[in-house]
Amino acid sequence: MSSKEKPTLGGTRIKTRKRNIAAPLDPAAFADAVVQIYLDNAGDLELVAKNLESSDLNFSRYGDTFFEVVFTGGRTQPGTIKPDEGERHPYSVIECEAKREAILPSVIYIQKILRRRPFLIKNLENVMRRFLQSLELFEDNERKKLAIFTALAFSQKLSGLPPETVFQPLLKDNLVVKGLVLSFITDFFKEYLVDNSLDDLISILKRGKMEDNLLDFFPSAKRSPEGFSEHFTKEGLVPLVEYNEKKIFEVKLKEMKSALTTQIAEESDISEVIENVKQRVKDAKLPDNEVVRILWDVIMDAVQWSGKNQQQNANSALRQVKTWAKLLNSFCSSGKLELELMYKVQMQCYEDAKLMKLFPEIVKSLYDQDVLAEDTILYWFRKGSNPKGRQTFVKALEPFVNWLEEAEEEE
């Protein structure tokens, strides 16, 4: 019995799955090559940029290493700013003088590199974030150079560098406590404001989510509005101090307005409301004229306005004035403040169509409730300085003024 041979598949090739063979990472060789280009061109950044452009260096893999070489002259050890093995060049940002004219060429040079290789912006972010989180490892002079570089980077609108990359890494407790962050941010502010306005600086702070948190840069012992004002006044940044004081003032006004709105909506006892406002005015040191404006705004905001019924609107507004007249009277304590209230009423009636015809009735109601004195109304009528709607309102108020003058003559 003959045995049958097992069938075979002839002429076929068994395919094996190819494995991805990863080339070994060699950032040291990349760094040495970049350093050599710096050395060969004696630090001429124009020539360095051209040679880098014509090279076949793998920037997509070694972007972080490239910016380490730009900032420090060579590679740095992982997690530090300490030099790693390999050659270094003396033309880095850290080796420059701590002056804008010495550092600006490096900013322009990086701008050129990023225009050709925009993907490197992420690597720039990585390296800047790492260095800023390691400020304690730099010398004072080196920290100043980093601050000047950062300010110039924003001033020159370095391609796509987000402000949060700079500000958020600084908020490490150990850096803030030592005062390193305050020193850095002060140098940054001073340098940036050389070429830019305060509004430009505020815009960057907003985008970096720091506009409302500037005190976070201060050590806890100095973290107060007074500490802020003292520090930046001493550093010659008075406009920044004024901006911060205005911002604090606006917050206090907003807080008082919110509390007052709640009390009026809840129809709290008027004496309780008056005490609350007085306490807030005292604590926040709010100016009387601002208080008068807020009181009127809140009282009018609480009116239940009708869509089209003019008479109903008039009744509601006048009822509200009568209800809260004692509150207004408590803070309109002088002719000047009474006049401030009249101007406020004038502006609201001018800007709000449904109140345009109510101006004389509101003024008469305020007079009847002893909020506005006769002298104040006559002064506004004869010499009022706010032109908005004035002619219309003067004409509308004329019958009431005539009545006041006739009553005065009879007396």
- The interaxial angle of helices 225-234 and 180-195, nearest 10 deg, is 60
Please tell me the predicted confidence (pLDDT) of residue 285: 84
Cα separation, 381 vs 378, whole angstroms: 5
3-state SS, one letter per residue, for the chain: CCCCCCCCCCCCCCCCCCCCCCCCCCHHHHHHHHHHHHHHCCCCHHHHHHHHHHCCCCHHHHHHHHHHHHHHCCCECCCCCCECCCCCCCCCCCCCCCCHHHHHHHHHHHHHHHHHCHHHHHHHHHHHHHHHCCHHHCCHHHHHHHHHHHHHHHHCCCCCCCHHHHHHHHHCHHHHHCCHHHHHHHHHHHHHHHHCCHHHHHHHHHHCCCCCCHHHHCCHHHCCHHHHHHHHHHCCCHHHHHHHHHHHHHHHHHHHHHHHHHHHHCCCCHHHHHHHHHHHHHHHCCCHHHHHHHHHHHHHHCCCCCCCCHHHHHHHHHHHHHHCHHHHHHHCCCHHHHHHHHHHHHHHHHHCHHHHHHHHHHHHHHHHCCCCCHHHHHHHHHHCCCCCCHHHHHHHHHHHHHHHHHHHHHC
Which of 282, 278, 276, 281 shows the shortest CA–CA distance to 261? 276
| pLDDT score at 165 | 84
What is the structure's pLDDT at 5? Answer: 55
Say what the pLDDT of residue 366 is: 94
Q: What pLDDT, on the 0 to 100 scale, is given for residue 84?
A: 60
Q: Report the amino acid identity of residue 110.
A: I
Contacts of 231 (CB under 8 A, 6+ apart): 182, 186, 218, 222
At 348, give phi and psi (nearest 5°): -65, -40
CA 51 to chain centre: 41
pLDDT score, position 25: 57
Burial 90-105 (b: 16+ CB within 10 A, else e): ebbbbbbebebeebbb
Q: CA 390 to CA 133: how far, in whole Å? A: 59
For residue 83, what are the β-bridge partners?
A: 76
**What is the model's pLDDT at position 85?**
66
Question: Which residue type sits at 401?
Answer: V
pLDDT of res. 350 = 92
C-alpha to C-alpha distance for 163 and 184, rounded to whole angstroms: 15
What pLDDT is recorded for position 411?
58
pLDDT score of 78: 66
pLDDT for the residue 16: 46
- Mean pLDDT of successive 10-residue segments in the chain (411 residues)? 51 48 66 93 93 91 94 79 73 93 95 93 93 91 95 87 87 93 96 95 92 92 93 96 91 90 90 92 88 93 77 85 93 94 93 86 93 94 89 92 77 58
Q: Any residues with CB less than 8 A from the CB of 280 and at least 6 apart, and which?
A: 252, 255, 256, 259, 286
pLDDT at 143: 94
